[in-house]
């Protein structure tokens, strides 16, 4: 039992007792100056959840794209590996042909006038627009869908009311 207590203490040592501070307009200089492609986000707050982290342009990794994160995992169980699901993450990547093998059951659809795939029981949506793929990951299907409806570019002109640009490629959509 003592071994379990030491292991739990070691795991908890890396946890924080408070949520990360929300980001403000001054924290957005790097993503706003990124010019390779539009980075999508849902504003400084989405449904009352603050924007807490944004990838910086100098950290850009073509495989991972550019990500924005909302909220924290403060209430998740730190003893269970992989138990954290942020309320919302939006990831924009330069589109590369991929088959999305392993996403499980999925539904092909159109969201905001562009092809999309809903998977992970609705918690995840991938939209195809312009030269990018936009992945929306949320803690529940309704939040994922509302975020897909509300997102807009942080570094390009546009609003959530504007239609998304049609993809300039033929996305390889997964099949069930």
- The pLDDT tens digits for 11-66 are 333 344 456 677 776 777 778 788 899 999 999 999 999 999 898 888 889 988 99
The answer to whether residue 58 is domain-embedded is: yes
Local confidence band at 159 (pLDDT 50, 70, 90 cut-offs) = confident
Question: With a threshold of 0.95, does the pTM exceed it?
Answer: no
User: Residue 160: its pLDDT value, please?
Assistant: 83
User: Residue 175: its pLDDT value, please?
Assistant: 52
φ, ψ at 45 (rounded to 5°): -140, 145
- Which one, of 32, 85, 23, 91, lies nearest residue 61 by Cα? 91
The answer to whether residue 9 is domain-embedded is: no
The answer to whether residue 2 is domain-embedded is: no
How many domains does the chain divide into?
A: 1
The answer to whether residue 171 is domain-embedded is: no
The answer to whether residue 1 is domain-embedded is: no
φ, ψ at 113 (rounded to 5°): 80, 5
Structural domain including 36 reads 19-153
Bridge partners, residue 127, by sequence: 116, 134
- The pLDDT tens digits for 108-153 are 999 999 999 999 999 999 999 999 999 999 999 999 999 999 999 9
In sequence order, what are the residues at sequence separation of 6 or more whose Cβ sits closer than 8 angstroms to the Cβ of residue 1?
A: none
User: Residue 165: its pLDDT value, please?
Assistant: 93
The answer to whether residue 123 is domain-embedded is: yes
The answer to whether residue 95 is domain-embedded is: yes
The answer to whether residue 164 is domain-embedded is: no
């Amino acid at each position: 039992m003592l071994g379990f207590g030491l292991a739990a203490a070691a795991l908890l040592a890396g946890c924080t007792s408070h949520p990360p501070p929300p980001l403000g307009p001054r924290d957005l200089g790097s993503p706003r100056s990124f010019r390779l492609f539009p980075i999508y986000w849902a504003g400084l707050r989405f449904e009352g959840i603050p924007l807490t982290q944004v990838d910086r342009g100098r950290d850009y990794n073509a495989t991972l794209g550019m990500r924005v994160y909302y909220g924290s995992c403060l209430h998740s169980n730190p003893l269970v590996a992989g138990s954290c699901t942020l309320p919302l993450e939006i990831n924009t990547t330069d589109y590369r042909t991929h088959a999305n093998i392993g996403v499980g059951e999925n539904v092909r659809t159109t969201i905001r006038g562009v092809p999309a795939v809903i998977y992970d029981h609705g918690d995840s949506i991938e939209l195809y627009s312009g030269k990018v793929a936009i992945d929306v990951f949320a803690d529940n299907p309704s939040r994922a869908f509302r975020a897909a409806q509300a997102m807009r570019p942080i570094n390009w002109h546009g609003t959530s009311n504007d239609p998304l640009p049609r993809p300039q490629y033929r996305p390889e959509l997964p099949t069930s």
